[in-house]
Chain A
Amino acid sequence: MVDTNTVSTMTSKTILSYNGPFYIELISVFGTNIRNFNDAYSNARKKLFKIFIELSQNVSNYSENFHMVNNVQRIGVGELSLKEFDTAYSFTTKNQVKKTDAEILTERCELVNASDQMKLRELKREQRLNSPGEKFGARIGLIQAVMLSKNKLEYKVDKINEDFSYFSLTVTIDKY
């Protein structure tokens, strides 16, 4: 596990905290507020908005705890937390995953964290070209988060039972 979050011991202010289904309407309203809540650090907030949408939609699309809308649409349930520090924003998502998927996600995070920007760009192109498309999307959200933030992913797996775990993911976005 990676724990490089040097801002974690500093004083922080919680900007947003949520636990529940990740409806697109909610993600959109939260995202718009994140982008517009003040005029400072506009470049950092643009990146934060993009990362916020990607990681929130990962929860919405892939959480193993989900709501069904009209017996058709599957909306993932999870948690998010956005904190502001003096020099950075920290965005965390947490959702339920299958134990086997937690292992795959951990491997992906390790690969992404071990790659420099050039390698990430290669991975992104390769992954996007080879992704099955349709309901699976491009599967490059984690790569995109690191390319935008230029910080490593912090991730944690907490076992729930023999079949499921919680997967937490934190991205730090520097203000400067």
Chain B
Amino acid sequence: MENITLTSSPTTPYFPEVSFDVDKGICEISGESYMEETYKFYLPLINWIKDYAKHIKKSLELNIKLIYLNTSSTKCILDILEILKDFEDEGGKVKVNWYYDKSDPDMVEEVEDFEAESGMKIELIEFE
């Protein structure tokens, strides 16, 4: 398995920055997410997590630091959380942290909905 590293650019702020590291078992998605063809962007990330759960089977930490994500992106994030929940139910060790801006209360509600829909525990952490 290879790492995934996608850097953000000021000219395409609708793509988030992505870092999925196999050796560390840490995945990070940050910035903003409102690209076209959302599923096409997220599919490799979804497949990476599926492969990790199937073949690597070590602990996995997901850190989400998205300031904004559109509703299409929320569907893909939910898909990721559901895969992580399945991994956890099969004995995998998973931790999900969601970093949020305290001046954006709507995001807290969104994360609560993700928890309820996926069954995955999400740690809410304020941005420093």
Contact = CB atoms under 8 A, between A and B. Distances in A.
A42 B105 CA distance: 13
Interface stretch (B21-29, B53-61, B70-78, B85-93): B70-78
A114 to B, nearest CB: 20
Given A24-B35, A46-B104, A57 B72 contact: yes
Contacts of A148: 106
Contacts of A73: 36
Interface residues of A, number: 31
B117 A125 contact: yes
Contact of A124 (B12, B79, B113): B113
Interface residues of B, number: 25
A129 interface: yes
Contact of A134 (B39, B68, B78, B117): B39
A144 B71 contact: yes
Pick the most buried of A53, A125, A137, A141: most chain B CB atoms within 10 A of its CB. A137
Contacts, number: 66
Contacts of A138: 71-72, 74-75
Contact of A60 (B36, B39, B75, B103): B36
Nearest to A57: B70
A59 B127 CA distance: 33
B100 to A, nearest CB: 12
Interface of A: 24, 28, 32, 42-43, 46-47, 49-50, 53-54, 57, 60, 73, 121, 124-125, 128-129, 131, 133-135, 137-141, 144, 147-148
The 3 closest A-B pairs by CB, nearest first: A137-B72, A138-B75, A138-B71
Interface of B: 12-14, 34-39, 68, 70-72, 74-76, 78-79, 103-104, 106, 109, 113, 116-117
